[in-house]
Every structure is written in structure tokens, then in C-alpha cells.
């Protein structure tokens, strides 16, 4: 059971940062609370008493999103359901709707923020591989001599281990900045115990862009979650694919090499097998998801011609 | 403690209240506003019994700090329709019988309402997807989905409103679609389960549970907890005035651990306090000194010499052995053309009813100790409690509150005794609501069982003899174990006439979570073994699996395993119906390969896929740049 003495709902970033800087030790920031509340239960943290909670969801600065030079700045109050209801976001971040549809359920997605998911830094968080594939950065703000100062940290570096990030004590995450990937096909693979309401055992995000004819990989982004303490960007695999003629054989070859990236000690054989299938399925689904492009696999054409 | 002020609109009315800052929206609705149609099935976002609308969006109120309600518009199950009225969604649930225990139903109605508000044209796949955050353990989902589809049609005007009315009943109720009398109370959230009840001056109870599987209790010091402000009483086994011990067959379980603990999660002490937080804090002030004892976790080791003894009265750890003998087994096996032998095991299973255990107790003006709880066995509980609290039976009263799912798991009196003791000690009403975690750790489970099986058969498929040897893990207390073993033995060899059989079912004590009653009461474990054997026999004999069952099935005049002569029998019709309904492809198992024709028919449930709405959204947006 979670108890606390005060629940603050600041309505400006400055007010929030001031409250946060002055909050008693052990206080917590809270966004959707979908991680914090279940955490303070039997079998996890048990009963927890915190001095203060600073809720960031009423800070207008953290709302909405804006395009900036090929990137999108998602306010920290962006929740997972937004990736299923906002058509602009769905188009520009093609892996996010698939990530979102497998994330918890419709109700939790209304509360669960992308920023909270990243700051919580669970090794099996669904958002991290997707954001990493989108070259995501997290924006952090703090007060310095009464002035708001901000910095941006790439999400691959931000998450340093299970539950550990580079966020400083006095910082609040204000945004997540990602590539706008219009024209890409996206996909997200996840295995968990059942359909809704499960945390991943492992997950994988992909973004793919081909040439107009659907023959050559122009750009590929691949990342894995749940296979190590922090998300893994599959740079080598991406490089192998980029510029190459699309074929099932090539995809299979890349998928096989991915198994070696599995670092998690628990259920390693299982995770290795899953990862190979993931990479294959992620690439194929992302290829099929590209708007208005009909992908032509080299080896499939051969078969037809033969 | 500083207060939190909440100004909100709840079900169309302004609310302006002060409450504790740490409350969740769920607590604020239930405790402060008495809107108990919103339930707490898990408190962790997993079940959906707590779903409410906040500013038009459905959310899980157990995951929302109450502070977020400030300035918001909130709609609960009570606010969907005017008092006395029901919405089309609620009426459709009533119509299709989508309300068994009803505990999940307010949440389901909310999720269905949300699905149809978000997308009035949602197809069935999308409806399922949108209801994915709500679980039901007893209605099953078919009737719920049926209801949502009817409601969708009525709201859209494509189905006449009469579709919500009760079907006509001709001259017989049998086979007719009759509405449940109690459904309106469930679909409207008005039905009060034990956790929804409030009595003036009521205390909240919390229970300290054992972290050890097997340990001697050296001392319990409750003084610090008792001295706390707001604590009304602390109780332990010392407070039991009568003969302690309950159980469905053997009274081996004390109200709270006495001298030693036998499983993780066993109640050791309980606190009744002015509020829940105080009660929980008081638990951390109770000091218990344990001396750990060697634990027994494998039923196979329970009867070995030198195994730890769990209960003094049963030095061999045996709770019950049920033997059944019929015919001459040796002769039966001698006659067999083929003998099959194998082992089967089934695991522990939790009932996971959506209503966690809850109860209220008070002492009435005539000194009658009254316990209200969703007990599945109130008369028996009443008799046992009378002994335990040393009162004549007319001074003990049990009231059965609506059971939010039981499945056998609420047959054991695992908390009612503590409530009674605290009510007697304080003369105030006391309530105890289990958390989901507590329900999982403290309530009985389905017996994990192992069966060693030997079956003798003739080439024509006739069974000549069976040896069936079951060992079940009873866990720390006897509970319903004896009955479960009896049933397992009676049903052991299935609905087949076996002339020669030797059946033994045994259940032993271990330091695992106690096993108890669970739907089928031992039948499932036995049938898993028997029906698996039948299939394996069909394979070995190259027979159609239906055929081998017909060869052996009990017919009128057959003698059951316990030698009762059957005057009626229906297995022939059951097999015919099953064969037909499954579009069974006749033949021995080996004739069907990967290409069996009886699989994946039109009525087969397809594996789930998610995301239909993603494709739809991008298509719609191409047309109109707008998405629902
Ligand atoms: C039933 C259920 C199912 C779930 N399913 C999934 C799933 O499928 N995939 C998945 O990845 N996760 C899942 N989760 C976990 C959780 O919903 C997500 O991690 C969610 O994104 C957390 O966001 P939040 O806004 O609710 O975070 P909160 O609980 O509010 O906060 C999480 C952490 O982030 C910090 N924080 C929040 N906002 C900020 C900020 N702006 N600046 C700095 N720190 C901040 C908090 O202090 C806290 O440490 C599930 C949870 C539940 C209960
Ligand atoms: S989801 Fe809130 S109580 Fe279960
Ligand atoms: S009716 Fe759904 S849980 Fe009982």
C-alpha cells in the first residue's frame, strides 16, 4: 500500500521544478502512476510511505507534441493511447501504434506515459526498444539559479540498467524527442504470458524504408528489449541490411546473428530462439506495413520465375 | 495528517470533499462517496473491476491517485442510468445472462460502454480488444460479447429495442432463455458484496502472516501495536476462548497459528483499528520470534521415514487414504493382451474468483456474534465457530453475502474466526477485506496430484483391469482434502465399466499452501489421467478414440467402481453429441496427420491478433484526416 503526506499538482514547469527541488527526501514524481501504485504492493516493495508526490500531468509545457527539423518533440505527458488515436503520430512514428496496442490495455494506456515508461527503466519496458529505434532522446529540465535549464540524453545511454537512468535528483523529464519516420513501415513484436495486460518477456521494434519499387532496404532500424539490462540497438544488423536487395534469405541470416545479443541470464535458450523469430517477423511485418509499397523479395521472385 | 481537497463532478453532481492525500480514486469513490459499484478485484490494474470514466476516458481507478480527480468529471456505474433505469448496455447484459457472480460486471458494463462510445461501429474483434483489460472468472466472455453486440445494434438503431426484452417462455422453462432475477442489481452496481458493506463505528482489520513455511513460534509481542493510537485490539491464538480448530473434515486448523506456522501466509496475528492505514502500520509493530523448522514441500517425501511432521496427530503426514477395490485385479491383468503404464501429474491451481475474501463481524445487542461473509458453507462454519468461541449455537449467526465467485475456494473458514474474535473483543463491527495478494497466499488451492496408472486391455479395446494410485499434496491443513480424495477415488477410472480395479487415493500434509475444494473436487485430476490413458490406449490399439470409449462405457445395468448398479446412463448420447459437434474425423489417431479436417472449422475460435483498429485508422484518415 502506498501512502504519502502530500499530493501536489503543479500547473507550470517552474512551479513543478521548485516543488521538486524542495521536496522532502524520498518524494517521487508521478505521471500516470501505473508503475508507482502497483510497485508499492505485497511481493514487490510492500507498504511504502513517501513524503510527497509531485504530479506532472497538469503542466501544460509537458502536453502535446511539435515537429522540429525531421524530429518530433513529444511532451512528457504523451500517453500510450495517443499512439492509437492521433493519426499524425501514427503516421510519423509507425512502430508506436503496434507497440501501444500490445501495451497493457485501453484503460491503462490512457494514463501510462511514455516518459514514465522510460524513467522507470524496466528491462522489459515496451517503450524503450521502440524509442531507441526512433533514435529517441529524453529531455530533462531542472532549475539552476531560478532558471530552467534543459538537456537531452539519447535514450540508449539514458537507461543504464534495470531501474537505473541518468536522471539527476532535481530533474524532471519534459519531453521525448524522436525521428519522424513518415513513409517507413513499422512493427513491434512482443511475447508475454497472454494478450492483454502483460509485461513483455522480450520485445522488438522495427522500422523499415525501401526504395519506391520495394526491392532494396533504404533504411532499417531494429532494437530489442527484454534481452539484457538495457535496450539494444542492432546497429550491425541494420548496416548489413541497408542498401541490400530484399530477400527472405538475407532476413534469415540477419535474424540468426541476433541471437548472440541475448544477455539476460534467465531463460536464455528461450530468449535466443524468440529473438531470431522476432527479428524475422519484425522485418517482414514492417516491410508489409509500409504505406503504398509492394515489397518484392528476391528469393520469392526466383521461385516464381523458376 | 494534511488533507487533500477534491472538487469534482461525480455522476453529474458537484462534490467538494477533503480526504487523505494518499487515497486512490477507487478509495475516494468507495469509502468517501459510498459508490461501491466500483470494486477492487486486484488493486494492481490487472482485473478491471474498478473501471470508471474520468473526463470521458475509461481508466482503472485503482491506479489513479485521488488527487487527479480534482477538477475532473467522473462517471461511475451508478451514474450511467437514472436510478431505477438501465442503459441499453446494462439491459443487454441482463438479457443475455452476462452476470454470474456479478463481481466483474460493473467494470464490464463500463468497458462495454466505453468501447461503444469510442467506436459505435466497433466490430466484434475490436470489442474484444477494448474489453481486454477486464477479466471475468465465471460468466465467461461469450454472453458478455453477445450483450455488447446487441447493445451496439440497439444504440445504432439497427436492432429494435425489443431485442433487449426477455424472450417469451412457452410452456416450459427448460431450454428457455430466462433472465436472471438478480441481474439488475449486478449490472447497475447496486448489489452489496461484503467489502461494500459499511456499519457505523466499524473497525478495519489487517492480518500479520507468516513469512516461513514451517517454524515454531517462540513469542509474539503485540504490546507496541496495542499501544498505538487508533488500534482497538490485537488478537492472536491466545484470544480463542473455546476449542480451537476448524476444517471441513478434520479440525486441524487454528483460527490463527498456534505454537507453530505451517505455511507461508498463515495468519499469525490480526489488528483491528480505526482505519486501514493504522491497522497496516500496527502490523509492522508486532514482533514475532520464530525458530525455523525443516520444511516438507514434496508430497512424495511426506510419508518417508524421518520426514518432518506437520501435525502431531498425524505422524506419517497422511491426511487420508481412500482405497477402492473391485473384482480381481491380478486376474484382470493376466487376461490382458496389452498393459499400459504411465504417470500423470497436475499442478496447483488458484481459483482466482474476482472477489477477494471479505467479511464483517459484529456482536448484536443480544450478544449474538454475527459474521457476514461470502462463505460457501455457512451452516458448517456456524457450528465450528460456536465451538471455537465457546458459545451456544443460538449465539452465533452467519449471514452469507453475495459470493463474488467461489468455485470451492470460499468453503474454508480462514478468516471469519478472526473477525468474530475482534468483534467480541471490541464490541464494535469489524471488517476485513483481503488484498488480491493475500487471497492468493492464504486461500486453498486445487490439489496438485500425481497418478501412477496401469491399464490392462484386450485387443478389441475392452479394459480388463486398472490400477490407479494417486498421491495428492494437501498442503498445511486438511481442509476439504478427504472429500476431494473420496471423489477422486469414486470417479477415478472414469465413466467406464471396469470389472477389476484397485484404486488408492492418498493425500498428505506438506508445508505448501493448503489444498482444498475446487470445481470437480478431485475429478479433474483423476480424469486427466484416465482420459489420457484412453487416448493412449486408442493409439496403441489402433482404434478410434470414440470407439474405445464406446466399448468401455457404462451402460444401464453397469456397476460403477464403487459397485452401484446404474439405472440410467447417458454416455452413449454424450459421445454421439461430442462426436458430431466436433465434426470428428473417424479413425485411429494415426490416420490424422497435419491435415485433419476436423480442425479449424467455422466455429473454432481463432488465435487472437491485436491491432485491427490501427489499419482502420490509417485507412480512415486517408479519406477524412480524422480518426475515431
Ligand atoms: C496492468 C499493467 C500492465 C502494464 N503493461 C505494460 C506493458 O505492456 N508494457 C510496459 O512497458 N509497461 C507496462 N506496464 C507498466 C507501466 O504502465 C508503464 O511503465 C508506464 O508507461 C509508466 O508510466 P506512468 O506515467 O504510469 O509512470 P508513473 O508510475 O507515474 O512513474 C513511473 C516512474 O517514472 C517517474 N516519472 C514519471 N514521470 C516522470 C517525469 N515526467 N520526469 C521524471 N520522472 C518521471 C516516476 O517517478 C516513477 O519512478 C503495465 C502496468 C500495469 C499496472
Ligand atoms: S484493475 Fe483495479 S482493482 Fe483490478
Ligand atoms: S461474473 Fe464475471 S467474475 Fe463472476
Residue A43 has pLDDT above 60, yes or no: yes
Q: Looking at A129, A150, A179, which one is the last position of a domain?
A: A179
- Taking the Cβ of residue A53 and every Cβ of chain B, the question of whether any pair is shorter than 8 Å is answered with yes
* Claim to verify: residue B468 and residue B432 sit in the same structural domain: no
Cβ–Cβ below 8 Å for B435 and A90: no
Query: What is the distance between the alpha carbons of residues B265 and B445, in angstroms, rounded to a whole number?
Result: 13
Asked if B453 and B572 sit in the same domain, the reply is yes
CB–CB contact B62 A108 (8 Å): no
Q: What is the pLDDT of residue A65?
A: 98
B361: contact with A, CB 8 A cutoff: no
Residue that is last in its domain, among A179, A203, A231: A179
Asked if A157 and A244 sit in the same domain, the reply is no
> How many structural domains compose chain B?
5
What is the spatial distance between Cα B60 and Cα B43, in angstroms, rounded to a whole number? 9
Q: Which of B126, B159, B191 is the last residue of a domain?
A: B191
Mean pLDDT over A97-113 rounds to 96
SS (H, E, C) B276-332: HHHHHHHHCCCEEEEEECCCCCCHHHHCCCCCCCCCCCCCCCEEEEEEEEECCHHHH
Residue B576 backbone dihedrals phi, psi, to 5 degrees: -60, -45
pLDDT at residue B377, rounded to an integer: 94
| Domain final position from B581, B598, B621 | B581
Summarize pLDDT for B591-626 with one digit per residue, the tens: 777 777 788 878 787 777 788 788 777 666 655 543
Q: What is the DSSP string of B73-120?
A: EEE-GGGSS-TT---HHHHHHHHHT--SS-SSHHHHHHHHHHHHHH-T
Q: What is the CATH number of the domain that holds A269?
A: 3.30.390.50
In this structure, the answer to whether residues A191 and A270 fall within a common structural domain is: yes
Number of domains observed in the structure of chain A:
2
Residues of B in contact with A5 (CB under 8 A): 1-2, 21-22
Asked whether residue A228 is domain-assigned, the answer is yes
Look at residues A121, A149, A179 and tell me which one is the last residue of a structural domain: A179
Q: Which residue's C-alpha cell is 530484399?
A: A246
Residues of chain B with pLDDT under 50: 625-628
- Same domain? A205 vs A294: yes
List, as ranges, residues 236-295 from A with C-beta within 8 Å of B.
291
- Is residue B11 in some structural domain? yes
Judge if B477 and B572 occupy the same domain.
yes
**Tens-digit pLDDT profile for residues A287-296:** 999 988 999 9
Task: Please tell me which of the candidates A43, A97, A196 has its beta carbon nearest to residue B614.
Answer: A97
Asked if A174 has any chain B CB less than 8 Å from its own CB, the reply is no
Same domain (yes/no): A272, A215: yes
Determine, yes or no, domain membership for A198.
yes
Across the interface, whether the CB atoms of B617 and A84 are under 8 A apart is answered yes
Domain with residue B563: its CATH number is 3.30.365.10
3-state secondary structure of B57: strand
For cell 475482534, what's the residue? B422
- The Cα of A52 is separated from the nearest Cα of chain B by a number of Å equal to 9
pLDDT score for A303: 61
Look at residue B568 and tell me if it is in a domain: yes
Residue B150, C-beta contacts closer than 8 angstroms, at least 6 positions apart: B92, B95, B96, B159, B163, B164
- Both A162 and A229 in one domain: the answer is no
Q: A161 and A107 in one domain?
A: yes
- 10 Å CB burial of residue B430 (0-12, 13-18, 19+) is buried
Cα(A110)–Cα(B556) distance, rounded to whole angstroms?
Answer: 60
Does A138 have pLDDT greater than 80?
yes
Does residue B152 sit at the A interface (CB-CB below 8 Å)? no
Q: What is the residue range of B100's domain? A: 88-169+179-191
A267 or A43: whose pLDDT is higher?
A43
B95 shares its domain with B68: no
Cβ of residue B41 lying under 6 Å from some atom of ligand 2? yes
Asked whether residue A112 is assigned to any structural domain, the reply reads yes
In this structure, are B339 and B320 located in the same domain?
yes
Nearest to B493 by CA among B560, B547, B565, B569: B560
Percent over 70 (pLDDT), chain A: 95
Q: Which three cell numbers stand for residue A236?
A: 550491425
Asked whether residue B253 falls in the same domain as residue B120, the answer is no
Tell me the chain A residues in contact with residue B627 when contact means C-beta distances shorter than 8 Å.
Answer: 85-87, 90
Q: How many CB pairs under 8 A join A and B?
A: 134
Domain shared by A70 and A159, yes or no: yes
Distance from CA of A305 to the nearest CA of B (A): 29
- Indicate which CATH number applies to the domain containing B61: 3.10.20.30
A13 in any annotated domain: no
Q: Does A104 share its domain with A170?
A: yes
Domain match, B219 and B333 both: no
CA–CA distance, B546 with A149 (Å, rounded to integer):
75
Could you write out the DSSP letters of every residue in B598-627? TSS-TTSPPPP---HHHHHHHHHHHHHS--
Residues of chain A with C-beta less than 8 angstroms from the C-beta of B22: 2-5, 7
* Domain identity same for B345 and B458: yes
Stated pTM of the model:
0.95
B217 belongs to a structural domain: yes
Q: Does residue B469 sit in the same domain as residue B563?
A: yes
For an interface test with A, which of B60, B72, B264, B282 has the most A Cβ atoms less than 10 Å from its Cβ? B60
User: Looking at CA atoms only, how far is residue B278 from chain A in angstroms?
Assistant: 11
pLDDT above 90 covers a percentage of chain A that reads 80
**Residue-wise DSSP of chain A:** -EEEEEEE--SSHHHHHHHHHHSPTT-EEESS-TTHHHHSSTTTT-SEEEEEEEE-TT-GGGSSEEEETTEEEEETT-BTTHHHH-HHHHHHSTTHHHHHHTSS-HHHHTT-BHHHHHHHT-TT-SHHHHHHHTT-EEEEEEEETTEEEEEEEEHHHHEEETTEES--TT-EEEEEEEE--TT-EEEEEEE-SSSSS---SEEEEEEEEE-TTS-BEEEEEEEEESSSSS-EE-HHHHHHHTTSBP-HHHHHHHHHHHGGG---STTHHHHHHHHHHHHHHHHHHHHHHSTT-----HHHHHHHH-
- Output the residue whose Cα is nearest ligand 1's atom 41: A173
For residue A88, tell me if it sits in a domain.
Answer: yes
Whether B451 and B545 map to the same domain: the answer is yes
> Which residues does A183 contact at the CB level (< 8 Å), separation at least 6?
A209, A290, A291
Cross-strand pairs, A202: A191
Mutational test site, ligand 2, from B24, B62, B77, B354, max ligand atoms within 8 Å of CB: B62
Answer whether residue B112 is part of any domain.
yes
Under DSSP, the state recorded for B249 is S
The whole-angstrom distance between A233's CA and the closest CA on chain B is 25
User: Which structural domain range is residue A122 located in?
Assistant: 63-179
Residue A49: inside a domain: no
Whether residue B628 is contained in a domain is answered as no
Mutate to test the pocket of ligand 3, among B183, B189, B354, B356 (most ligand atoms within 8 A of CB): B354
A240 falls within a domain? yes
d(CA B262, CA B310): 7
pLDDT at residue B599 in the model: 80
B154: β partners? none
B154, B164 contact by CB (below 8 A)? yes
DSSP tag of B138: S
Q: Which of A103, A107, A120 to mutate to test the interface with B (most CBs of B within 10 A)?
A: A107
User: What is d(CA A54, CA A172) in angstroms, rounded to the nearest whole number?
Assistant: 10
Which one, of B546, B322, B350, lies nearest residue B439 by Cα? B350
B43 lines ligand 2 (CB under 6 A): yes
Looking at the domain assignment, is residue A58 inside a domain?
no
Residue of B nearest to A199 (CA): B46
Residue A174 sits in a domain of what CATH number?
3.30.465.10
- Whether residue B423 lies inside any domain: the answer is no
Whether residues B229 and B281 fall in one domain = yes
State pLDDT tens for residues A59-92.
999 999 999 999 999 999 999 999 999 999 999 9
Ligand 2: centre distance to CA B200 (Å): 27
Q: What is the mean pLDDT of residues A187-209?
A: 82
**Do the Cβ atoms of B618 and A90 come within 8 Å?**
yes
Distance of CA B523 to the CA centre of its chain: 17
Q: Residue B59's closest chain A neighbor by CA?
A: A107
Amino acid at each position: 500500500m502506498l501512502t504519502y503526506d502530500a499530493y501536489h499538482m503543479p500547473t507550470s514547469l517552474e512551479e513543478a521544478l521548485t516543488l521538486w527541488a524542495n521536496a522532502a527526501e524520498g518524494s517521487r514524481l508521478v505521471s500516470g502512476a501505473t508503475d508507482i501504485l502497483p510497485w508499492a504492493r505485497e511481493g514487490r516493495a510492500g507498504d511504502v510511505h513517501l513524503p510527497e508526490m509531485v504530479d506532472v500531468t497538469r503542466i501544460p509545457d509537458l502536453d502535446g507534441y511539435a515537429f522540429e527539423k525531421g524530429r518530433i518533440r513529444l511532451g512528457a505527458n504523451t500517453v500510450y493511447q495517443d499512439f492509437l488515436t492521433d493519426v499524425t503520430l501514427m503516421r510519423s512514428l509507425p512502430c508506436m501504434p503496434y507497440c501501444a496496442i500490445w501495451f497493457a490495455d485501453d484503460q491503462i494506456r490512457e494514463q501510462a506515459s511514455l516518459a514514465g515508461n522510460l524513467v522507470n527503466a524496466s528491462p522489459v519496458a515496451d517503450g524503450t526498444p521502440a524509442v531507441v529505434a526512433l533514435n529517441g532522446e529524453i529531455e530533462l529540465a531542472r532549475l539552476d539559479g531560478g532558471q530552467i535549464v534543459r538537456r537531452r540524453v539519447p535514450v540508449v545511454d539514458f537507461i543504464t540498467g534495470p531501474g537505473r537512468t541518468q536522471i539527476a535528483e532535481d530533474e524532471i523529464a519534459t519531453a521525448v524527442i524522436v525521428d519522424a519516420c513518415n513513409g517507413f513501415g513499422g512493427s513491434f513484436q512482443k511475447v508475454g504470458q497472454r494478450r492483454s495486460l502483460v509485461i513483455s518477456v522480450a520485445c522488438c521494434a522495427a522500422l523499415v524504408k525501401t526504395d519506391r519499387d520495394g526491392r532494396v532496404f533504404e533504411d532499417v532500424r531494429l532494437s530489442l528489449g527484454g534481452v539484457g539490462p538495457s535496450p539494444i540497438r542492432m546497429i550491425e544488423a541494420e548496416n548489413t541490411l541497408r542498401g541490400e536487395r530484399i530477400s527472405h534469405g538475407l532476413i534469415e541470416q540477419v535474424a540468426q546473428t541476433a541471437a548472440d545479443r541475448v544477455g539476460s541470464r534467465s531463460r536464455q535458450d528461450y530468449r535466443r530462439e524468440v529473438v531470431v523469430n522476432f527479428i524475422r517477423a519484425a522485418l517482414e511485418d514492417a516491410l508489409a506495413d509500409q504505406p503504398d509499397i509492394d515489397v518484392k523479395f528476391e528469393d520469392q521472385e526466383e521461385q516464381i520465375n523458376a | 495528517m494534511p488533507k487533500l481537497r477534491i472538487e469534482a463532478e461525480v455522476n453529474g453532481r458537484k462534490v467538494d470533499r477533503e480526504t487523505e492525500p494518499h487515497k486512490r480514486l477507487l478509495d475516494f469513490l468507495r469509502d468517501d462517496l459510498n459508490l461501491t459499484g466500483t470494486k477492487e478485484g486486484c488493486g494492481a490494474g490487472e482485473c478491471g473491476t474498478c473501471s470508471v470514466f474520468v473526463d470521458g476516458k475509461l481508466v482503472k481507478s485503482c491506479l489513479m491517485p485521488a488527487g487527479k480527480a480534482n477538477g475532473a468529471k467522473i462517471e461511475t456505474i451508478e451514474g450511467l442510468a437514472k436510478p431505477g433505469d438501465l442503459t441499453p448496455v446494462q439491459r443487454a447484459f441482463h438479457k443475455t445472462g452476462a452476470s454470474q457472480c456479478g463481481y466483474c460486471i460493473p467494470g464490464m458494463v463500463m468497458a462495454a460502454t466505453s468501447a461503444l462510445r469510442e467506436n459505435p461501429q466497433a466490430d466484434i474483434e475490436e470489442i474484444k480488444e477494448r474489453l481486454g483489460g477486464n477479466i471475468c472468472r465465471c460468466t465467461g466472455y461469450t454472453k458478455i460479447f453477445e450483450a455488447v453486440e446487441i447493445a451496439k445494434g440497439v444504440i445504432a438503431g439497427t436492432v429494435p429495442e425489443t431485442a433487449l426484452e426477455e424472450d417469451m417462455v412457452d410452456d416450459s422453462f427448460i431450454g428457455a432463455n430466462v433472465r436472471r432475477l438478480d441481474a439488475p442489481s449486478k449490472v447497475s452496481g447496486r448489489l452489496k458484496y461484503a467489502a461494500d458493506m459499511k456499519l457505523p463505528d466499524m473497525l478495519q482489520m489487517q492480518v500479520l502472516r507468516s513469512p516461513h513455511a514451517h517454524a515454531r513460534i517462540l513469542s509474539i509481542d503485540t504490546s507496541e501495536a496495542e499501544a498505538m493510537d487508533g488500534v482497538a485490539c490485537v488478537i492472536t491464538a491466545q484470544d480463542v476462548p473455546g476449542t480451537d480448530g476448524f476444517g471441513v473434515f478434520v479440525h486441524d486448523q487454528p483460527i490463527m497459528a498456534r505454537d507453530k506456522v505451517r505455511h507461508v501466509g498463515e495468519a499469525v496475528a490480526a489488528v483491528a483499528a480505526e482505519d486501514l492505514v493504522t491497522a497496516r502500520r500496527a502490523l509492522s509493530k508486532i514482533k514475532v520470534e520464530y525458530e525455523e523448522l525443516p520444511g516438507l514441500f514434496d508430497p512424495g517425501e511426506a510419508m518417508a521415514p524421518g520426514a518432518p511432521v506437520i501435525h502431531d496427530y498425524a505422524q506419517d503426514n497422511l491426511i487420508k487414504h481412500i482405497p477402492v477395490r473391485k473384482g480381481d485385479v491380478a486376474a484382470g491383468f493376466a487376461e490382458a493382451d496389452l498393459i499400459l503404464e504411465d504417470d500423470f501429474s497436475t499442478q496447483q491451481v488458484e481459483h482466482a474468483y474476482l472477489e477477494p475474501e471479505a467479511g464483517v463481524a459484529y456482536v448484536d445487542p443480544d450478544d449474538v456474534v454475527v459474521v457476514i461473509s461470502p462463505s460457501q458453507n455457512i451452516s458448517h462454519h456456524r457450528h465450528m465457530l460456536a465451538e471455537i468461541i465457546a458459545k451456544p449455537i443460538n449465539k452465533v449467526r452467519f449471514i452469507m453475502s453475495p459470493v463474488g465467485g467461489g468455485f470451492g475456494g470460499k468453503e474454508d473458514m480462514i478468516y471469519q474466526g478472526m473477525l468474530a474474535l475482534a468483534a467480541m473483543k471490541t464490541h464494535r463491527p469489524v471488517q476485513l477485506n483481503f488484498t488480491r495478494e493475500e487471497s492468493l497466499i492464504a486461500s486453498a488451492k486445487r490439489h496438485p496430484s500425481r497418478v501412477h496408472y496401469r491399464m490392462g486391455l484386450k485387443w478389441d479395446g475392452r479394459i480388463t483391469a486398472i490400477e490407479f494410485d494417486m498421491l495428492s499434496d494437501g498442503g498445511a491443513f486438511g481442509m476439504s482434502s478427504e472429500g476431494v480424495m473420496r471423489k477422486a477415488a469414486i470417479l477415478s477410472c472414469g465413466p467406464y465399466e471396469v470389472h477389476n480395479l484397485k484404486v488408492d487415493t492418498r493425500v498428505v500434509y506438506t508445508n505448501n499452501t493448503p489444498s482444498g475444494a475446487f470445481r470437480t473436487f478431485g475429478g479433474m485430476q483423476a480424469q486427466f489421467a484416465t482420459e489420457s490413458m484412453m487416448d493412449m490406449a486408442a493409439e496403441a490399439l489402433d482404434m478410434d478414440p470414440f470407439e474405445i470409449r464406446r466399448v468401455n462405457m457404462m451402460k444401464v445395468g453397469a456397476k460403477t467402481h464403487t459397485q452401484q448398479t446404474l439405472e440410467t446412463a447417458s454416455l452413449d448420447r454424450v459421445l454421439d453429441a461430442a462426436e458430431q459437434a466436433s465434426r470428428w474425423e473417424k479413425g485411429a489417431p494415426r490416420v490424422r496427420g497435419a491435415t485433419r479436417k476436423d480442425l479449424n472449422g467455422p466455429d473454432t475460435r481463432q488465435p487472437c491478433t491485436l491491432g485491427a483498429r490501427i489499419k482502420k485508422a490509417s485507412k480512415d484518415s486517408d479519406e477524412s484526416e480524422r480518426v475515431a
